Every structure is written in structure tokens, then in C-alpha cells.
Amino acid sequence: MRSGSKKLEKGSLLDKWLNREKDNKPRKGIEPRPNGVSVPLSLGQQRLLFLQQLNPENPFYNYADAYRFKGNLNLDLLLKSFVSVAENHEILRTSFKVKDGQAFQTIKNSANFETSKYDLRNRSPEDIQKIAVTEARKPFDLSSGSLVRLSFLQLAAEDYLVVLTMHHIIFDKWSMGILLREVAETYTKLPNGEELEIPRLDIQYADFVYWQSQKEIEEKDLTYWEEKLANSPELLNLPTDFARPHRPTFNGAYFTKCFPEILSKKLQSLCRERKTTPYVFLLTAYKILLNRYTNENDILVGSPFTNRDRLELERLIGFFNDTLVLRSDLSGNPTFVELLEQVKQTTHEAFAHKNTPFETLVKTLKPERYLNHNPLFQVMFIYHNVPEMPSFGDDLELEHEPFDFGVAKFDLTLYISEKSEREMSATFEYSKDLFEEETIDRMHRHLENLLEGIAENPNQQISDLPLITDEEKEQFFEWNNASANVISPKLIVDFFEDQVRTNPDCTAISVQNSRFTYRELNERANAVANYLLSLNLNRKQPIGLFLESSLEMIVGIFGILKAGFAYLPLDAEYPKERIDYILEDSGASIVLTQDVFLGKISDETIEVHKIGEIITSARLDAPILSDPISKDDLAYIMYTSGRTGKPKGVAVTHGNLAYSTAARFGLYSERPETFLLFSSFSFDSSVVGIFWTLATGGHLVLGTRRIEQDLAGLANILEKEKITHTLLLPSLYSQLIKSIPKSAFDSLDTVIVAGEVFPTSLCKEHFEILPNVKLYNEYGPTEATVWTTAHRIILEDSGSKIPIGKPISGTKVYILGDNQKQVPIGVSGEMYIGGKGVAKGYFNDLEFTNTRFIQNAFDDTAEEKLYRTGDICRYRSDGAIEFIGRKDDQVKVRGFRIELNEIEEAIKQDTEIIDAIVKLESINEEIETNDETDVLLNALRGLKPEEADEVLRSIENFSDEEIQSMIGKTASA
């Protein structure tokens, strides 16, 4: 400990350790090993040897330091000094052999260090660094070669960089201090012929290892760790830039920043005030940082220590490092001060039970072992008081040079270095397999912000401590306002009528061999509108549309909109129970239908009108005499599943629809000349094709039911109609481009995929087959009017996770933590959506609306509320958003939202079933499947056919054929 350092707390672990020689209890010392005995490896050395044998050419357990000598350095004398010290320390002359499966130490009689000299005068700093790193990264032969390497790099006449590299199996950081002091003392006395005063050692490292091998682990220590680490998480899910590789490379880097002097002083002052060490204080802050980055409360951090709790070990060079696993519970959102006391107690207990080697702990606990991450913990914390450099004489200046030779043994390690009370720095050693330097730079700034907040008020709850930088806040604002002025104030019916006037005789819609021009479509829509207006209906009640995919469906939609009503699409393949529920919940009193569906509406209070008769009996040139339509009037109500299993009607206004559609004008360079509509009209994705196409003068081609199953017919439509645009599920698109002749896509300009997570394999498939077709990934819930973000996919996206893109025009995206505060770039949180596309809420369900649509606390001028999606996402540094998963247990199958608890509830309706748990088994996105509903099969196995039928019908829109097919598969399985 440096003179003038802080007063030692009486009774602390450090106090007990420093005064251990005063202990009155007699202790048997470590004695020299018996002559001729084979010396094993310490437990720590065994681990290093095993890991090195797995990766023989990897330098991840090289220990390298760089020292800058300025002055008249005698290289021969310096080398002789190292050799002289090695005569006193057997470990510096040791190698390791394995015989009959047992490893043991072999000690040579004399030191034979590996040395190299480089004259680098007039060479660039880059060249010097490259050579130094190359020397440090050279692998060692543990079985026979020297495990000490000295590289002398002459930079100028009196300027040398000495790179000292050793294998960690013979060395630790404490040992470096011993080695430097003894080398310096030898160097200064040898040229003068003085007698060296370095006392010979009574015992050697090999004696310690032999003594350790005879000891038994204290049962109370092992019991403590078994209880402390029981049921601990396998992996800390840090938000990484790259997917974790199956086998790590251990390539890493350092990134260091100094804390401002005033912050360093504040932190030291707080440590004294709270009667704690900087180690515990900074460890607590680090755990908060990890908690905020991972949203996990059970945080395990490894912390190495040199286990030299006996006086005779203090002067030994060797590998005495062991590791403590420090586990903390951050649940309940404690204050920093409360968490500090918990961490202090945990650390105190850990050191009290430190004599259980980490290797023994792993062997006892038997955690799941994986090649790609460390067991028990993946992050480390080290606090280091920087020692003064020893003197090599008056004519030499010695400085320790920061040296990064590209190695990281763990995902992330935080080193805190303290040179003085005013000078503290933080270094992150990070795995380049997982992180980019930009991410670690940002992490540094978050750590500093966090510490500033703690210094300002340590009694804040940990969720309230600041993390986000001012630069990030500015970036979020820019991303949300990148294209805010593109929006048009027109309504959809206005856009459509502009096209009627401009392109009256151009084809507007077609299905199979039937088609309407814009004039024909408009006249029939006007007829429907006038008919509805003649009925004097309540405009707050939607008009049901129970129709096939047909020209009449589009006529009905525009007729309803022109009359100022909201349309309510009812899929012809919905189960009867769902249709009855939607009609009752929406309060619809009118349904427009076709002959084929007469009698399908069981509620006799609902009037059923045949749309064909309305059109044929009307005067097609009659003007519409309706009240003006407001942007706040409802345009449609789209029903989707909810947490209770009952569908929820999303109420979308004319303003929502107009803004959502107009946002496409700016993002997409080409208007849809011919759009092929795959979606059911009861899906909000149908809105894209209908209104984008007909608002811009394009031709909307309606696909018939199950068109994707008729590949020959689909290819014919693509070629015959010269399709330029379409939107479909990524899984369906992948099947089509591999199954349909490439020539069928000759006219295709733009493909939009949505509704499912975009598989990375599809990116490569697309650019191999259709490299000139533009590909977009869209994301958006029904509650935000179809789309919220979009990403133009390029070939360079292959091999990485495909983002869902950036906020579209007029939309604002906020990614928030559980405290509804913004999370930093790269950190996952729940997505909240604001802006012009956010719907009014759920029709006739104010209570549920208030749980999902909340006040916008980030924009006082916003009229719209924020929609809470339940989707976990994160911002990338380029502003694109990545979708991570669902906050709840909702999944999507074939684009349908399905919540696992709904299946559980349906299963438990059987009186013989006490309880049920439904689990979605992980499916590799690279595996191709022709039946996306397979994810449900495991949940249905074991049920009777009638029970499975009931479950399926209670969940979502499955046809009778699909249900019977799935029940058949379940039964056969």
C-alpha cells in the first residue's frame, strides 16, 4: 500500500490479512517438497494447460507487458539481470509435460529465455506496434520451450521498448511487481560489482503447489458456494453486435478512458463517506451497468485475486490467481446505497470463503458447459492500484506502456486503474467476436454518466440513474424526425378521386378475367355509398364486409369510406364463433355480402345486404351527398387477437390511413404500377396494396384464396399482369422464388416482406435469384396502421441480422426500459410507437385501450398517444432498429398472432386437465419448412381430435382443411 493512502478500516479483510502475522494461533509453514517427488500442477495451472491444449496456437493466455526505457540502456546487462532473477525463481525455468494423462512440472537447471532484437529507428509507430504485437502473440511450447520472451525494440539512440511476454501458467500480476523490483535491483548493482542483497527463497512455487495438492477443501467453504450459486443463470445476455460464435477466437481489444479529475475525487470521497473500498464501489456501479444493458437482475461477475494469504508466498513468482464469483440480486429496484451494502456483504463473504478453487467450484456445481462461453460468468471486474516503477538508475527513465496485443479471455472485462485519488481510468477488454469498438466507446460514456449520477445522488434508485448521453438523445430526435415533413394532408378518398379524374379508363382492379377501370370502380363505389347513406345509419357503427376476394370487395371498401363509415372486414374462412363475436363486439348492424354467404350470419338483428344487387339497382352516375369526412372519422376496424384470447378491434381513422399511405410516397422510389395482393382483407397488410396502389394510379391484382398453392397459376399471373410490386410473408417469398421460373419475375421491381422475422438465409437467396429486384423489410402492428419502420435490404446485409429499419415519415419510435425511460443505443427495450399512424385505440374497449395506449411523455405537442407494442427491439448505431422478440409469450404463425397462454387456457377447459404449460420449441430459421403451422403441433400432441379442433378454432383463423390436417399430424405423432 502506498504511503499516504486512505486509513485502513479496522476489522476489514485487508486489515486482518496485513496483520495476520500477529495471529497467536500457530500455523504450520509451507516446507520444501520431498526430494525426487514429481510436482503436479496447481488447479489453476491445470485449467490453463487444458485450455491451451484445446487451442495450441492461440495466445489468449500469454501475459504481455511493454516498458519504455529512455536513456543509456545496456541490453546485455538487462538480459543478464533477468537470468539472474530466474536463478532465484524456479518457476521462470519451468516447463510442463504430460505423461500417462498426468501433467507435472519440469524445472531446468538454468534459464534460457527467448530473445529478439529489432532496430526500428525511423520506423513508423504503426510498424513498431505491429512488431510488438507479433512478438507478444507468438505461442509458447509449454512442454519444452522457454515460457519467458524478451523483445528489445530500439526506437531511437536512447529509446527502447521492451516487450516482456510470459505464459500465464507461470505468472500473475503480483509476480510482475516482484520481477521488476528484483531485475531493477540486479541491474543497478551488477555493473558496480556489488553483492546482490536479494535474499534467497526458502521455498519455491513448486513447493507451494505440492503443499496445496496435499490439502483438502474446507467443507464449509464449498457449502457456502453451493448455496450461493445455486440455480444461477447460465449466460449473461449482453446486447452484442455479432452473434456468439460456436467456438470463440479469443480475439479482443482494449479501450481505455480516463475519468475527469473532479469525478475521480468525488468517487474517492464517496467511498470514504460510505466506509467502503473503491473496489466494492466501482463493482456495484459495474453491476448496475450490466443490469441496465441486459434487463437482468441476477448478475454474476468474476473477479480475479491473487491467493497469497501466507507470508512465505509474498515473494514468490508464480500463478497464484484464482477467481471469485460475485453474485448480486438487483431486483426490486434498490437505491445505489442499498445495492452497495449488498455487494459489500457479498464481497466480504466471498473473500471469507475464497479458499475453494474455481476449478473445484465448477466441478462441484456442474454447470452446463459450452465451448462458446465461460461457465458461471462471462464478465470480469478488476480494480488495480498502479504501482510506482522501480528505479533502474539515475540515467534511465522507465514507463509502463499500455499494451493491447489483441486478446480477450471473456466477453467483457472492466479494469479500473487508480494512479492517485485524482487519476482513475477505466479499460474495457472486450471480445471482438461479439463487440465493435464503437459499442465499447459508447459503453464507456454510459459508465461515466452512471458514475456522475451516483456521485450527484447515491440515494437514487438504480433505474433512475442516468445512462444515455446527450449525443444519443440528439440522435434519437434526429432519427424520429428524419422525414417528418413528407406527409400529405389529403384523405384516401381524395387521393383515389384524383386518379379517377386523371386516369379514368386505366385498369384499377382485376381478379382472374374480370376488371374495373378507375371510372367503373368509382361509379360502383358511389352507388354503394349512396345506398348506405339512404339507410340513415349511425356513422359510429361499422359496416361489415363478408365477401370473397373480388372486385365487389374493393367496391364495398371505397363505397363505405366515401359514405363516411368504417369498413369491418370478415374473412370468409373465419370460424363461425369468431364472426359472431366480431359482429357483436363491433355493434355492426349492416353486413354487405354475396349470394354464396347468405345464411352464414346467425344474428337475426343484423341486416344482410347483397352488394351485387345494390350496384345493379343503382344509378351509377349519381353524386354522393354525404357530410364532409374528417381525418378523425373511423376508416376501418381490424380485429386481431388479444391477451384474453378474445379478438380486439383496432380503430383506424381516415387520418391514420392517409398518413400511413402517403408515407410510402417518399420512401419508395417507384409507384406500384401493378400490385399483386396476397393478403386476406381481414389482415391489415391488405391495406398496403389496396390504398397505395389506387392512390397512385396503379393496377391492383387480387389474388384468389390459396393462390400461393397453385404455383403454375401464380407464375401465369405474374407474367400476364406484369406484376411490379407485392407484399408477402418472408417464408412464402422464399418458397416462391425457389419454386417459380425466374422468367415469371421479369417485371418485378419491388418486393416487401412483413409479418414474420426476416431469416438471414432469404437475403442471400433473393440476391442470387433476383439481384435487380428491390427488397424491403417492413414492421408494424395493426395498432400503428400497418407499418412503423422499413429497411431496404442490400446484399451486404447477408450474414447479419436483418433490421426492421428506421421510423417512417410521421412516425416516432421510442425504445424504453421497464421504467418507461429511453434505453441507450444497442440496448434492448420495449418499442413504443407515436405519430400520425397510431390508431385511436380498441373499438368499444376503453379499459384495454388505456393499458396499451399511453400519454406521450416525450413530445408535449403530440396529439396522438404512444402505442405500447410488447415487442422487444433495439437501435443499432446507424439508426436502424433490430427486432429481438416478444416481451410476453406471443408468437406468430403464418403471420397470425398466437399467444401461448391462450392455448393453455383452451386446453385447461377439459375438466380432466388440472394445469397446462405450452412451450414453443426453438426452430432454426435456416431450416426450410412447407408448413409454418408445425410450431403448434407439439402443443397439441396428446389431445383428443375434438379437443385439438376446439383449441385451434379458439386461437385464430384456420380453415377446416388446415385444422383437420394439423389434427391428423398430431395424432400420427
Encode pLDDT of 520-551 as tens digits.
999 999 999 999 999 999 988 999 999 999 99
pLDDT at 912: 63
Cα(first)–Cα(last) distance of the chain, in Å?
A: 69
Longest dimension (CA), the chain: 121
pLDDT at 485: 59
At 942-951, the pLDDT tens digits run: 455 555 555 5
Residue 164 in 3-state DSSP?
A: strand
* Residue 895 falls in which region: left (phi positive, over 0), alpha (psi -120 to 50) or beta: left
If you average pLDDT over residues 130-137, what whole number do you get? 96
pLDDT at 220: 93
Indicate whether 935 pLDDT > 50. no
In one-letter notation, the amino acid at residue 270 is L
Strand partners, 940: none
pLDDT at 956: 44
pLDDT at 152: 97
pLDDT at 973: 41
Q: Which is more confidently placed, 840 or 367?
A: 840
pLDDT at 943: 52
Indicate whether 19 pLDDT > 80. no
pLDDT at 887: 83
Cα gap 719→707, rounded to integer Å? 15
pLDDT at 2: 38
336-352 and 278-294 are packed helices; what angle lies between their axes, rounded to 10 degrees?
A: 110
At 484-506, the pLDDT tens digits run: 655 667 899 999 999 999 999 99
Q: How confident is the model at residue 455 (pLDDT cuts 50, 70, 90)?
A: very high
Indicate whether 937 pLDDT > 80. no
Q: What's the Cα-to-Cα distance from 30 to each of 39, 202, 204, 311, 772, rounded to whole Å?
A: 15, 9, 10, 10, 76
- Contact of 113 with 45, CB cutoff 8 Å: no
Residue 113 CB contacts under 8 Å (≥ 6 apart), including other chains: 79, 82, 83, 86, 146, 148, 149, 150
pTM for this prediction = 0.83
Cα gap 943→946, rounded to integer Å? 8
pLDDT at 373: 86
Q: Smallest Cα–Cα separation from 836: which of 857, 813, 864?
A: 864
Q: How confident is the model at residue 386 (pLDDT cuts 50, 70, 90)?
A: confident
Cα gap 290→328, rounded to integer Å? 11
Indicate whether 645 pLDDT > 80. no
Q: How confident is the model at residue 377 (pLDDT cuts 50, 70, 90)?
A: very high
HSE of 358, CA atoms in CB hemisphere, 13 A: 22
Indicate whether 972 pLDDT > 50. no
Residue 744 in 3-state DSSP?
A: helix
Cα gap 56→140, rounded to integer Å? 8
Least confident range of 2-6, 231-235, 405-409, 525-529 = 2-6
pLDDT at 15: 58
Percent of the chain residues past pLDDT 70, beyond the cut = 87
Indicate whether 882 pLDDT > 80. yes
The mean of the pLDDT values for the chain is 87
If you average pLDDT over residues 147-155, what whole number do you get? 96
Q: Smallest Cα–Cα separation from 289: which of 332, 336, 226?
A: 336
HSE of 373, CA atoms in CB hemisphere, 13 A: 20
What's the per-residue H, E or C state across 537-604?
CCCCCCEEEECCCCHHHHHHHHHHHHCCCCEEECCCCCCHHHHHHHHHHHCCCEEEECHHHCCCCCCC
Residue 661 CB contacts under 8 Å (≥ 6 apart), including other chains: 492, 495, 687, 691, 692, 695
At 309-342, the pLDDT tens digits run: 888 999 999 999 999 999 999 999 999 999 999 9
Q: How far is CA 472 from the centre of its chain?
A: 18
Mode of pairing for the β-strands spanning 811-816 and 829-835: antiparallel
Percent of the chain residues past pLDDT 90, beyond the cut = 68
pLDDT at 488: 64
Q: What's the Cα-to-Cα distance from 305 to each of 350, 408, 764, rounded to whole Å?
A: 11, 18, 48
Residue with cell 355492426: 588
